[in-house]
Amino acid sequence: MSLTVYCEWLGPGAGLGMLGGGGFPERVELEPLPQWQPVGENLTLRCQVEGGAPRTNLSVLLLQGEKLLSRQPAEGTPVAEVTDTVLARRGDHGTNFSCRTELDLRTQGLGLFQNSSAPRQLRTFVLPKVRPHLVTPGIMEVGTQRSVTCSLDGLFPASEAQVHLALEDQRLKPTIKYSKDSLSATALVEVAPRDEGVQQLTCAVTLGNQSQRTRESVTIYSFPAPNLTLSESEVPEGTVVSVECKAHAGAVVTLSGDPAESPFPRAQIMLNATAEYNGRDFVCSAALEVAGHVLHKNKTQKLFVLYGPRLDKENCPGNWTLEEYTLQTLRCQALGNPIPKLDCLRKGDGALLPIGELRPVTRDISGTYVCQATSRRGVATREVVVNVIYQQSNLVTIIAVAALILGIAATVGTVAYLYNRQRKIRKYRLQKAQEAAAMKLNTPP
């Protein structure tokens, strides 16, 4: 004898229906949450429950994580909707919300049956009602780079904020640093000739579904250095030289050496090149006013005058008196451009005078020298006499003074000797006279 068993799945709750109880909800869904929820504003949670019976035994729970927010009966057909309102807080950021149904058939001996929706994650944020702080250079020169900084405090979560920095339609690439509740974005701005004029620099900070922005004006200008030209930069002495200075459009110049010193776009002077102008720097200074700022740029040119050679008494004295064995630097300088070659040779033997050397002076450098300065511009000569005071001269003086002192001392000694001798003779004679007088008094008549 054989037995055949048939099994058939009748769907969720079918067993409950066969027992006269009811069925599970067909759909339990928590409506999507806002992508971002501002902190401090109310959030409405909505849960929809479709099906489920008997409704008198069906409850809907709204949960934050496992924390119960509200429990409500499932009312309405065919879809029951329950709502609850919560105040969004910082601490709610990243938490999950869900709804759960509970079908309680324990009175019918079937137990408590639960069904939950998929969880929804909440993201809360704080964007302060103030504009970002934008630090800009104010003015920028064409062809330069400058940094700009945009910052904002009081953000939450700061790391989720986005920064948009742009100069007109030129988007910048900022480097953003985040801290606990703030951010700071720094970017380089490079301006080209096409950007010349007043441009708007914009910084926008976006967090959640809100944005705060600020704008600052940047004046972009072109200011090349002035053009300074000399008719010739190296000229022989006595040549007339023209010095001209020109500025970029909108700027004014002043030229050193110009007695007028009037602020015009162009300045020029004419000069007779003398030795005093050799190595002289001429400075052309340009000034330009940009957005209330006065800017300056300079250009310098040096003039070289060919002259000489020269030997004058200020730079090469004609008579030197030196003390023997003292340290001396012998100074004789020839002037001229190009710098002359200088030699000082003693008359008679052609000995070379050690010009410019620090050395003890000896008597063998005494004499008359002829100093000759030579360059491709000519020759100049000057006679120099060197006298050396010998140490021996001082010794003779000392000996003479010592001899004089000794002579005086000998004379004084002789006088003292004669005086003492006469005093002793007088004393002796007085003593003899006293003795003779005493003898006469003691002799009987």
In-domain check, residue 440 = no
Evaluate whether residue 241 is within a structural domain.
Answer: yes
Using CA atoms, how far apart are residues 159 and 186, in angstroms rounded to an integer? 16
Q: Are residue 20 and residue 116 in the same domain, yes or no?
A: yes
- Count the Cβ atoms, other than its own, within 10 Å of residue 367: 16
What is the C-alpha to C-alpha distance for residues 239 and 271, in angstroms, rounded to an integer? 8
Tally of domains in the chain: 5
Q: What is the pTM of this model?
A: 0.63
Pairing verdict, β 234-236 and 293-310: parallel
Compute the average pLDDT of residues 7-30.
Answer: 58
Residue-number span of the structural domain to which 340 is assigned: 311-389
Quick one: 270 and 332 in the same domain? no
| Residue 2 within a domain | no
Please tell me the distance from the alpha carbon of residue 168 to that of residue 247, in angstroms, as a whole number: 30
Domain ends where: 262, 283, 303? 303
236: domain CATH number?
Answer: 2.60.40.10
For 225-252, what is each residue's pLDDT tens digit? 999 999 999 999 999 999 999 998 889 9
Question: Both 119 and 18 in a single domain?
Answer: yes
- Cβ(324)–Cβ(389) below 8 Å: yes
Residues 115 and 38 in one domain: yes
Residues 40-61 pLDDT 10s? 999 999 999 999 889 889 999 9
User: What single DSSP character describes residue 56?
Assistant: G
Question: Are residue 382 and residue 408 in the same domain, yes or no?
Answer: no
Our CA dihedral for 62, 66, 69, 75, rounded to 10 degrees, sits at: 30
| Same domain flag for 252 and 323 | no
CA 46, chain centre distance (Å) = 60
For residue 369, give every residue at least 6 positions away whose Cβ sits within 8 Å of its Cβ, in sequence order, or none. 344, 345, 346, 347, 353, 383, 384, 385, 386
Residue ending a domain, among 281, 303, 325, is 303
- Examine residue 224 and say whether the peptide bond preceding it is cis (omega within 30 degrees of 0): no
- Which amino acid, residue 183? L
Partners of 304 in beta bridges: 234
Provide the pLDDT for residue 236: 95
Last residue of a domain, which of 169, 195, 221?
221
Residue 442 lies in a domain: no
Please indicate, yes or no, if residue 8 is contained in any of the structural domains: no
Q: Is residue 443 part of a domain?
A: no
17, 43, 111, 367 from 108: Cα distances, Å:
12, 38, 8, 144
Q: Is residue 72 part of a domain?
A: yes
Q: For position 111, what pLDDT does the model report?
A: 87
Say what the pLDDT of residue 307 is. 95
What are the structure tokens assigned to 69, written together? Answer: 């927010």
